[in-house]
Amino acid sequence: MRILIIPTTDWFKHPTPHRHHYLADQLKVEHEVFVLHFDIFHRGDEMQRDPHIQYLPAGGSPDQNLSKYYVKNRAEHGKTIARIIEEQNIDVVFGANLLPTIGAFKHVKKMRKNGKKCIGVYDFSDFFPQSAAIYSEGKLSASVVKFASNLLFKKNLKLADCVTAVSAPLYDYAKGFGCKHVELVTNGVEIARFTPDIDASSIRQDRGLGTKVLGFVGALERWIDLDIPLRAFPKILKKIPDAQFLIVGGSIRSGYEKHLHSLVEELGISNNVIFTGFVPYEEVPRYINAMDVTLIPFRTGLYMADIALPDKFFEYMACGKPIISTKLPEVERVGGKAVHIYEAPEDLVEKTIELLSSPTKNVEGVKIASKYDWKKMAGKLTDIFAQRLGEQG
C-alpha cells in the first residue's frame, strides 16, 4: 500500500517523536510511506530523516501561532495534499491533523468518484477541542480555539471512511458520534529499545543520581500536574532525605517549565530536583532505567485525563519500573495491578515512600507492555487499511 501520513505537528523539529513517528517506522517495512511535513518550529535540531520514508513539504508560510499557521495556509496545504494524492497514487490517507485532513478526505472522495480505489482514515489520537485550547493565552482565545477545533474534528469524523481511536473512551465517542467503522489502536512501545536491563550507570553518574529516584518523562505542559508531586516532595524528604526527583522533558509552547523551576526554588528543594530539559529520544530508555519509581501526573478534571493512555506508561512498564499515576481510567484498565493510583497528595507521599524504600521490578508491567509493541500496533493498522480498501471493490 501507498500510505500518506498527515501528522499533528512538525515532523522533524518537534522535540520528541510521537505516535505517528513510531507507526511510520513500522509501516515502512512493508509499504511505501509518505509523510506531509509542516514547517512549524524554528529550532536548530532536527530528527534524523529515514531514507525509506518520503517526506513531502506542505508548503505555506510559517507562523508561531499554530491556529494562524493552519488557517492562513489552508488553501496551499489543500492544493499540496491533492497533488500528492494524485501524483503519488496514494491508497490510504492516514490523517490526524484537523484542517489539512479535511481537505485530504474530501479529495479522497473525489478520487473515488473518478474510479480510484482509496480511503481516508482519521486517527483519533487526541481530543483537540481541549488540548489545542490549553496552548491559548486568555479565556477568549481559548474559547475560540475550542469552538473551532470542535467543529473541525467532528468534520473529520464525518468525512473519514474509518476512525482509529487511541483509547477506549475515544472509541466510544466515535461510535456515539455515528462513525460506522471504528477500530481501537492504542499507543505502544518499542520493546526492543525499552528494556529493564539497560545500563544506566553513566546517567546516574552524569546527573549525580543516587538509588532513590522518583522520575518523570514527558512534555511539561498544562495537562500535566507536577505541582502536586513537587509540593509533596518535602514530606517525602523528611522520611527519605536522599530522595531525588528527576524530571526529563521541557515545555514546547507554554511557560509551565519556568513555573516549575520557580516552584522548586520556592519550596527549597532545588538540591533534590533535577531538570534535564528535552533529551534525545535514544537516551530516554537509559533515563527511565536510572529511575527507581516513575510518575504519571495528569491534571484531573480534564477530559484529556479520561482518555489518556500515554506513551510513557508503556515505556515505564517495558523498563520494569514501578508506576505511580493520577487516576486515569485507561491507565487503570490496561495496567491493572502494575500501576499504583493516587487521588490525594497524602496517597502520593505514602506510596512514593513505600516504593522508594524498597524498589522492585514491575514484572507484571513488563508482561503487559510486551502486548503493545509498536510492531503489533502497525500490524493491526495494516489489517484495517487492507480491509477498508477491500470494501471499495
Domain boundaries, the chain: 2-188+373-390, 201-371
CA angle 193, 54, 61 (to 5 degrees): 110
Q: What is the pLDDT of residue 356?
A: 97
Per-residue pLDDT, averaged over 347-374, amounts to 96
In this chain, the answer to whether the domains covering 2-188+373-390 and 201-371 adopt an identical fold is yes
Work out the percent of the chain whose per-residue pLDDT is above 70: 95
Q: What is the pLDDT of residue 132?
A: 64
Q: How far apart are CA 109 and CA 118, in angstroms?
A: 8
Handedness of CA 116, 383, 155, 55 (dihedral sign): negative
Identify the band that residue 66 occupies on the pLDDT scale cut at 50, 70 and 90. Answer: confident
Per-residue pLDDT, averaged over 325-329, amounts to 96
pLDDT 10s digits, 245-285: 999 999 887 889 999 999 999 999 999 999 999 999 999 99
- Mean pLDDT rounded to a whole number for the chain: 92
Least confident of 13-22, 23-32, 96-105, 378-387: 13-22
In terms of pLDDT, which residue wins out, 229 or 136? Answer: 229
Q: What is the pLDDT of residue 139?
A: 55
Identify the band that residue 393 occupies on the pLDDT scale cut at 50, 70 and 90. Answer: low
Q: How far apart are CA 10 and CA 3, in angstroms?
A: 18
In terms of pLDDT, which residue wins out, 43 or 247? Answer: 247
Least confident of 58-67, 81-90, 103-112: 58-67
In terms of pLDDT, which residue wins out, 275 or 197? Answer: 275
The CATH label, of 3.40.190.10, 3.40.50.2000, 1.20.1050.10, 3.40.718.10, for the domain at 201-371 is: 3.40.50.2000
Q: What is the CATH number of domain 2-188+373-390?
A: 3.40.50.2000
Burial class (CB in 10 A: 0-12, 13-18, 19+), 274: middle
